[in-house]
């Protein structure tokens, strides 16, 4: 077996592909991936989440009077059916379905009151009878929790919009915060962009107290949720109580006191001030709609913005465009029904695959896939800033790539880093189409974009550098999510950014202006120090966007290698010891999402198989920092080959993506791309 490091070329003896089982597995996998490549050259796998978003879509359509076609209603019902938990209800974690419909589904976690209540109301809004089996099971779960009284705040707001929870029972999300001076420590501009835009929409709706027009159907659903009667006085004692099934991070006592003050302020707020606040919020809402061609940063804030427009003017022409643009996030088929993805990952997935191909042998299949991918990926780079973005708290976008595709103008640090490195590596390996060979100016623009996302501690944020003090993390009102208030310095983003900056500086050499080269070197040195400071006591790096230490360690070590840390450094020895110690008897690796809840490594239960995704991350790391661990590496590669199917693909498995501690995501293409990368590194 030969091993080529991603961060430094290693000369190895050639291997005859036809006699090497890794090369054979690699060739089969490329044939399978070629069938998944889109006509434009991109790769797009679904990022599978729980059914919360499709429920919110149904709520929005009902409130604004947008008719959902009968065929889609049926498919939404199907999506809830396939995601239902045993015993009824829905939860935060997606349900994994095997390719064979006759095999049992794989469940993680349990049903939540939030998702189950939204699911129940959705089914009823779509015409399901109260005694429909799914409805009956969901209602039984809700009743077991004592009703929806203790649903988290975001659930209270969605129910309040339908007249099923009093607005006074939710957190006071005041639109007047948008009138604060931008220097104020509590100005919303300091929040992480997803939270900022979600709370922008929520604050507008709270300020207007929008409630859908009542109807016999809504009245019936309300009576089903509250069989003892709906009396707003009953909700007062639940103001600070959240269902144990749903609560992850209880708002701090100081924040609860602030809520009390704001509730009183809301009752006393002069109408003129509220009007000014709503106008300011609407200015930001319209900017986000129009600057993204209405697809918005995510479907969550897009749904809320549609409701905000409706609250102001049901005939607003932007409303119809907003509803139509939400189709951007839809995945739909007969087996799994209609889903809304919280993110699209075309750029992300394509960039990783290109890097894998650049490390593997330049076979005909690899060249064909890579040339098509390199024709598309440059088209997704931002080649201009977002006009007027500064007034709406947008960072410069020029030179960046986003997570999704060319139709989503929200670029990200590590997506830019991975795309830049992918295109440059493909060009160096002779795999890139001429159209995909970035001009120098665009490479330098990407480098500048990445530098702008570095935090003072040397680490890198995602969409933006951190804007607020870390104190704000203790004022998280979200209840169901953690670490969501601010941009952090993430091990994964930092590893990607350091690796790309170091690679660009080396490859561009004298073509990089001297002042920029100095800044790059300083950024890499600071990032290296940050990553070294973040190594967990067990030896790895905790993940934030993936499960968990195998993910964080893969990115962190590759960044440190690119930053010039020698293989003899003790941090690499500690990391490799952790990986080898956690290799399972089957040769693979597998961690549980529970580690994200505990901020510590947490192995998957022994009865569950290892995942090829996490196995690939571990192998890529070991081949890079500990190539002498040949036994562990060979066993891991054997596991990948063993799990590969005859058609070259790998089967569905426990999800390995996550965000905000609790939200597990199933990246459909992770289990196809990262094993290919590990095989490519083994034979390249």
* Res 384 pLDDT > 90: yes
Which pLDDT belongs to residue 1? 37
Helix axis angle for 113-125 and 70-82, nearest 10°, is 150
pLDDT in tens, 275-321: 999 999 999 999 999 999 999 999 999 999 999 999 999 999 999 99
Element at 662 (helix H, strand E): none
pLDDT digits (tens, 9 = 90+) for 488-529: 999 999 999 999 999 999 999 999 999 999 999 999 999 999
User: For the residues 101-120, what does the mean pLDDT come to?
Assistant: 89
**Using CA atoms in the order 194, 199, 201, 202, what is the torsion angle rounded to 10 degrees?**
140
Q: Which residue has the higher pLDDT, 470 or 17?
A: 470
pLDDT single digits (tens) 330-370: 999 999 999 999 999 999 999 999 999 999 999 999 999 99
Q: Is 200 within 8 Å of 142 (Cβ atoms)?
A: no
Is the pLDDT assigned to residue 676 strictly greater than 50?
Answer: yes
Q: Tokens in use for 280?
A: 């300011």
Return the number of other C-beta atoms located less than 10 Å from residue 270's C-beta: 8
Q: Which fold has domain 50-340?
A: Glycosyltransferase (1.50.10)
The structure tokens listed for 579 are 């990986």
Q: Name the percent of the chain lying above pLDDT 90.
A: 90
Task: Identify the pLDDT of residue 652.
Answer: 95
Evaluate if residue 159 carries a pLDDT over 60: yes
pLDDT digits (tens, 9 = 90+) for 560-577: 999 999 999 999 999 999
Is residue 427 classed as helix, strand or coil in its secondary structure? helix
pLDDT of residue 10 exceeding 90: no
CATH of domain 17-47+343-683: 1.50.10.20
Beta bridge partner(s), residue 412: 401
Residue 15's pLDDT is what? Answer: 42
| Distance from C-alpha of 174 to C-alpha of 280, rounded to nearest angstrom | 12
What tens digit of pLDDT does each residue of 46-60 get? 999 999 999 999 999
Question: Tell me: the pLDDT tens digits for 238-251?
Answer: 988 999 999 999 99
Confidence label for 272 from pLDDT (cuts 50, 70 and 90): very high
| ω into 357 cis (within 30 of 0) | no
* Banded pLDDT at 18 (limits 50, 70, 90): low
606 or 643, which is more confident: 643
Going from the C-alpha of 543 to that of each of 220, 426, 546, 591, 669, the distances in angstroms are 45, 27, 6, 11, 19
Q: In the structure, what pLDDT confidence band is assigned to residue 471 with cuts at 50, 70 and 90?
A: confident
Which pLDDT tens digit goes with each residue over 436-458?
789 999 999 999 999 999 999 99
- Per-residue pLDDT band at 6 (split at 50, 70, 90): very low
pLDDT at residue 98 tops 60: yes
Given a cut of 90, whether residue 472 has pLDDT beyond it is: no
Between 434 and 205, the higher pLDDT residue: 205
Residues in the chain: 684
**Average pLDDT, whole number, for the chain?**
94
Q: Is the pLDDT of residue 13 over 80?
A: no
The answer to whether 414 is a known catalytic residue is: yes
401 by DSSP, 3-state: which? strand
pLDDT value, residue 11 = 34
* Residue linked to tokens 């080529």: 4
Active-site residue identified among 349, 414, 433, 666: 414
Q: Do the first three CATH levels of 17-47+343-683 and 50-340 match, i.e. the same topology?
A: yes
pTM reported for the whole predicted model? 0.95
Q: Above 80 in pLDDT, residue 93?
A: yes
The domain segmentation of the chain, as residue ranges, is: 17-47+343-683, 50-340
């Amino acid at each position: 077996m030969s091993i080529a490091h991603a961060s430094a070329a290693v000369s190895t003896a050639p291997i005859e592909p036809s006699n090497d089982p890794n090369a054979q597995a690699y060739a089969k996998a490329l044939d399978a991936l070629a069938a998944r490549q889109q006509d434009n050259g991109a790769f797009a796998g679904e990022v599978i989440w729980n059914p919360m978003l499709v429920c919110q879509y149904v709520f929005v359509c009902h409130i604004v009077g947008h008719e959902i076609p009968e065929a889609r209603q049926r498919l939404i019902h199907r999506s809830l059916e396939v995601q239902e938990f045993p015993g009824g209800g829905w939860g935060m974690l997606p349900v994994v379905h095997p390719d064979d419909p006759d095999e049992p589904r794989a469940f993680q976690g349990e049903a939540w009151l939030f998702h189950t209540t939204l699911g129940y109301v959705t089914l009823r809004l779509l015409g399901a009878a109260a005694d429909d089996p799914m409805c009956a099971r969901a209602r039984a779960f809700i009743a077991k929790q004592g009703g929806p009284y203790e649903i988290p705040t975001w659930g209270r707001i969605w129910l309040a919009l339908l007249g099923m929870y009093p607005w006074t029972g939710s957190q006071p999300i005041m639109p007047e915060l948008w009138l604060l001076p931008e220097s104020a420590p509590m100005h919303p501009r300091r929040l992480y962009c997803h939270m900022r835009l979600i709370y922008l929409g929520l604050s507008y709706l709270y300020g207007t107290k929008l409630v859908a027009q009542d109807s016999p159907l809504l009245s019936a659903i309300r009576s089903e949720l509250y069989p003892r009667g709906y009396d707003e006085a009953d909700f007062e004692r639940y103001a600070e109580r959240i269902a144990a099934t749903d609560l992850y991070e209880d708002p701090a006592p100081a924040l609860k006191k602030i809520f009390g003050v704001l509730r009183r302020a809301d009752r006393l707020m002069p109408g003129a001030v509220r009007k000014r606040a709503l106008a300011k919020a609407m200015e930001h809402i319209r900017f986000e709609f129009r600057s993204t061609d209405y697809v918005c940063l995510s479907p969550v804030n897009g749904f809320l913005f549609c409701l905000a427009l409706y609250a102001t003017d049901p005939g607003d022409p932007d409303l119809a465009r907003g509803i139509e643009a939400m189709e951007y996030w839809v995945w739909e088929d007969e087996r799994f029904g209609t889903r809304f993805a919280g993110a699209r990952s075309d750029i992300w997935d394509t960039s990783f695959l290109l890097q894998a191909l650049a490390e593997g042998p330049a076979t005909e299949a690899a060249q064909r896939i890579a040339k098509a991918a390199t024709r598309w990926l440059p088209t997704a780079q931002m080649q201009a800033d977002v006009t007027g973005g500064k007034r709406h708290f947008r960072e410069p976008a020029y030179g960046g790539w986003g997570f999704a595709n060319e139709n989503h103008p929200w670029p990200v640090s590590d997506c830019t880093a991975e795309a830049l490195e992918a295109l440059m590596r493909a060009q160096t390996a002779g795999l890139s189409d001429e159209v995909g060979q970035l001009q120098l100016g665009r490479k330098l623009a990407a480098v500048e974009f990445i530098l702008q996302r570095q935090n003072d501690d040397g680490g890198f944020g995602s969409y933006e550098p951190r804007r607020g003090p870390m104190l704000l993390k203790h004022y998280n009102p979200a209840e169901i999510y953690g670490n969501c208030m601010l941009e952090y310095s993430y091990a994964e983003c930092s590893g990607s950014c350091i690796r790309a900056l170091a690679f660009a500086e080396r490859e561009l050499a004298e073509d990089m202006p001297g002042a920029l080269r100095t800044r790059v070197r300083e950024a890499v040195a600071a990032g290296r120090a940050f990553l070294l400071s973040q190594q967990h006591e067990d030896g790895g790096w905790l993940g934030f966007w993936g499960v968990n230490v195998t993910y964080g360690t893969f990115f962190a070590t590759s960044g440190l290698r690119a930053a010039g840390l020698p293989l003899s450094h003790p941090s690499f020895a500690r990391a490799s010891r952790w990986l080898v110690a956690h290799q399972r008897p089957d040769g693979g690796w597998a961690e549980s999402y529970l580690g994200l809840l505990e901020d510590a490594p947490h192995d998957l239960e022994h009865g569950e198989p290892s995942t090829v995704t996490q196995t690939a991350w571990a192998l890529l790391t070991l081949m890079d920092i500990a190539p002498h661990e040949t036994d562990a590496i060979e066993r891991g590669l054997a596991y990948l080959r063993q799990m590969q199917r005859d058609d070259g693909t790998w089967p569905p498995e426990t999800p390995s993506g996550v965000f905000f501690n609790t939200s597990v995501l199933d990246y459909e293409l992770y289990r196809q791309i990262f094993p290919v990368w590990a095989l490519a590194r083994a034979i390249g």
